[in-house]
Chain A
Amino acid sequence: MPKTATSILLLLVLFSSYGIASAAVGTLAIGYLEFKDDPHYRETFLESRYPAQPWGRPFDGAQLAIKESRFAAMAVGVEFKLERRSAVSMEALIRAYEDLYADGVRFFVLDLPDGMVAELAARTKPSAGLLFNISALDDKLRQSECQSHLMHIVPSRVMLTDALAQFLVFKKWRSLLVLRGSQPGDDRLYAAFARSAKRFGLKIEDTKDFLLGRDPRKRDQNNVALLTAGVDYDVVYVVDSQSEFARDVPYQVQKSRPVVGAAGLVPDWWHWAWERNGAPQVNKRFVRLAKRHMTGYDWAAWMAVKIIAEAVLRTNSSNLAELVEYIRGDEFKVDGSKGYPLNFRKWNNQLRQPIFLTIPNWVVERAPLRGFLHQINNLDTLGFDERENQCRL
């Protein structure tokens, strides 16, 4: 605290000498790394407008934040700039990182699949730069595969499943029928769900594995009515990382029960229909730039750049170590237009944040829900708390 206070004071003192029209004295370039063949961004997938999935490349979110940081840039006399590199392979990605590093880039925004984030973080030196994960939800990245120089802007899967579990407890819809997919990623999503179910005391009446398709010999696995007949339950919980099967579930269920998970009520970390905390203005600015609504991935890209700019403004420094210390510190506070001051969990570098429970054109609730309390910060009722931590930074 005293250190931060000092640096803020120092900043204020410096301001007077900078005056208002101080020209940029240097450039602070931010690397933006993406994978060219990322399955997240296949055309047909994007056009499906699945909830809590990307609707386009999130680069526009980063650009929006650059634009919004112009007064901070003016105040400290730097120019923020994005260096976008689209890699075709893991090796190309490493080369892109190294080239940017050689050019003096120390901040990197990573729009990459889970595995590539893990590998890049493992193969780069913690002292060499700060990485911001804006798309990988994998829980392992926050636990056994965590890295001290890897900051997570997007929530982990367990933060999402915890938020939904809180909602189910709040509604007293504790009895679940689970429909589980078998695509890559579904097993990890199921593990996150199972942990949340246990943590919040949800009761799994039955778990059924579904298959995509119309094969009449596999009707008991590909027909939603058959899958949801039989045992009774309060809700159908769909575990489907690809969202394609899930979208057909809400009105094909056998019983008149709500559907949650990958369709129906979906946990998400941004939603264009959130109407508080200045969120409509953020979405409008994004729409103007990207010609589409803003998703959680776009929000994460926007936040990553905002966090860097905020740290530069408040410390009046471009020194990596100083900025990292500030960003990871207790006094750090950034506004994400979701209504809480946001900062990072010390034990795994995850950005604390509220999670929305959403339907296609509305936010039904914001987690943490009322009544879910934590001894230090209620946002830590979502995801891996310090006592469950397996990350060694």
Chain B
Amino acid sequence: MRLAFPTLLLLLICTAQPTYAKGTGFVFVSSEKDHVVTVFRPGTLKEIKKISTGQRPRSMRFSPDRSKVYVACGDDDSIDVIDVEQLKVVRSIPIGDDPDRFDVSPDGKFIYASNEDEGLLTIYDIVNDKVVAEIPVGEEPEGVLASPDNKYVYVASEVSNMVHVIDVKSHELTANIVVGTRPRRIALTPNRSELWVTNEIGGSVSIIDKVTNKVVEEIAFQPKGFRPEEVTPVGIHITQDGKRAYVTLGHANHVAVVDVPSRQVKQYVLVGRRAWGVALSADESTLYVVNGKSDDMSVIDTRNMKVIRSVPAGRVPHDVVVDN
């Protein structure tokens, strides 16, 4: 989300509190087993604060205006709202049983959340504070992505091996796209033409043509020294220029660098154990990867794809987002 300069200026003038400004570059890491979101300063990677959240914080998303971080707290059946200026939880949204991944609508008014236990996609009206719809999908829904035009929500079901396409207005399932085994997360290419879906047990990424809703290609991963059955892709992040995708390979302890136009894997970078969450700094020169089984975060310089640092990041770190 890019704000026009006058708007930004206006925002700065209106902000009276001498608290943290937007675009701090702060790195937010959720950790499942100690119920906190840890905030790091970019560069020094100094820990600024541990924000207490509900039980089992996992997936995180920014509000479109970057003023809030939403964090799904699975064991509290809530999505907590962190105020970025104050770095504390200011609201807790009752989203239903065991929220997992979610997305925020482009206008910032709705949350689309997977309820992992119930097999539902919940649409929540943030402004009026109420559930708008609970839509049954395949069991263990995971990755959620709202289309930029806010017409469709895509939900991956780990059990049905499908990406369900939901019409936001009618709440109907308009398509079920069969992908690889145990699909986890969904990324949209910046030109909005393709959805890239990680398949954890399939060990691959399925590429869906967004116009036809069909899988057009599957990318397999084979880092050196790992068996196919150890390669469990989960996290995915595509750069703004649409050239590169970073895919975390879970138990294979690597991040794959994929050239998006050619769909070729260019490189594998060794990180910590069970790499899942992945995010980039604003200038995309720094890649953050959180490792659930080594309780740390790997920090990578994307210019040479070297790991610069590895910092402790709570107990079972799950997701990472950057205020950029």
Contacts and interface: CB of A to CB of B under 8 A. Distances in A.
Interface of A: 11-12, 15-16, 20, 68, 71-72, 74-75, 278, 281, 284-285, 310, 313-314, 333-335, 339-341, 377-379
Nearest to A378: B227
A302 to B, nearest CB: 11
B214 A20 contact: no
Contact of A340 (B158, B161, B162, B229): B229
Contacts of B181: 333-335, 341
A71 B176 contact: yes
A-B residue pairs, 3 tightest by C-beta: A71-B160, A335-B201, A335-B182
A314 B178 CA distance: 9
Chain B interface, DSSP helix/strand/loop, else mixed: loop
16 contacts: A15-B176, A15-B177, A20-B174, A20-B175, A72-B160, A75-B178, A281-B98, A281-B139, A285-B139, A333-B181, A333-B201, A335-B159, A341-B181, A341-B202, A377-B227, A378-B227
Interface in B284-306: none
Contacts of A314: 178
Contacts of B139: 68, 281, 285
Contacts, number: 71
Interface of B: 98, 116-117, 138-140, 157-162, 164, 173-178, 181-182, 200-203, 212, 214-215, 227-229, 232, 251
B173 A20 contact: yes
Contact of A281 (B117, B160, B229): B117
Contacts of A12: 178, 214-215
B161 A313 contact: yes
A335 B117 CA distance: 17
A285 B118 CA distance: 8
A174 B117 CA distance: 42
Contacts of A339: 232, 251
A68 B160 contact: yes
Contact of A341 (B138, B160, B177, B229): B229
Contacts of B160: 68, 71-72
Nearest to A13: B214
B158 A71 contact: no
A354 to B, nearest CB: 10
B323 to A, nearest CB: 30
A370 B177 CA distance: 36
Contacts of B200: 335
A15 B158 CA distance: 19
B138 A71 contact: yes
A377 B227 CA distance: 7
Contact of A278 (B140, B162, B212): B140
A11 B162 CA distance: 13
Nearest to B142: A278
A335 B199 CA distance: 11
Contacts of A285: 117, 139
Given A15-B178, A20-B173, A68-B138, 9 more contacts: A11-B178, A15-B177, A68-B139, A68-B159, A71-B157, A74-B176, A333-B201, A334-B181, A339-B251
Contacts of A310: 161
A333 B202 contact: yes
Contact of A313 (B174, B177, B178, B251): B178
Contact of B214 (A16, A68, A333, A378): A16
Contact of B229 (A71, A278, A334, A378): A378
B34 to A, nearest CB: 15
A20 B176 contact: yes
A305 to B, nearest CB: 12
A378 B229 CA distance: 9
A68 B139 CA distance: 7
A306 to B, nearest CB: 9
Nearest to A5: B218
A144 B162 CA distance: 40
Contact of B116 (A68, A281, A340, A377): A281
B232 to A, nearest CB: 8
Contacts of A15: 176-178, 214
A66 to B, nearest CB: 12
Nearest to A306: B159
A16 B177 CA distance: 10
B214 A341 contact: no
A360 B114 CA distance: 31
Contacts of A20: 173-176
A335 B201 CA distance: 6
A68 B119 CA distance: 10
B273 to A, nearest CB: 11
A75 B176 contact: yes
B96 to A, nearest CB: 14
A378 B200 CA distance: 18
A339 B250 CA distance: 11
A314 B175 CA distance: 17
A341 B199 CA distance: 11
A182 B98 CA distance: 48
A12 B162 CA distance: 12
Contacts of B227: 377-378
Contacts of A313: 161, 178
Contacts of A334: 181
A19 to B, nearest CB: 9
A24 to B, nearest CB: 15
Contacts of A16: 212, 214
A331 to B, nearest CB: 11
A392 B181 CA distance: 31
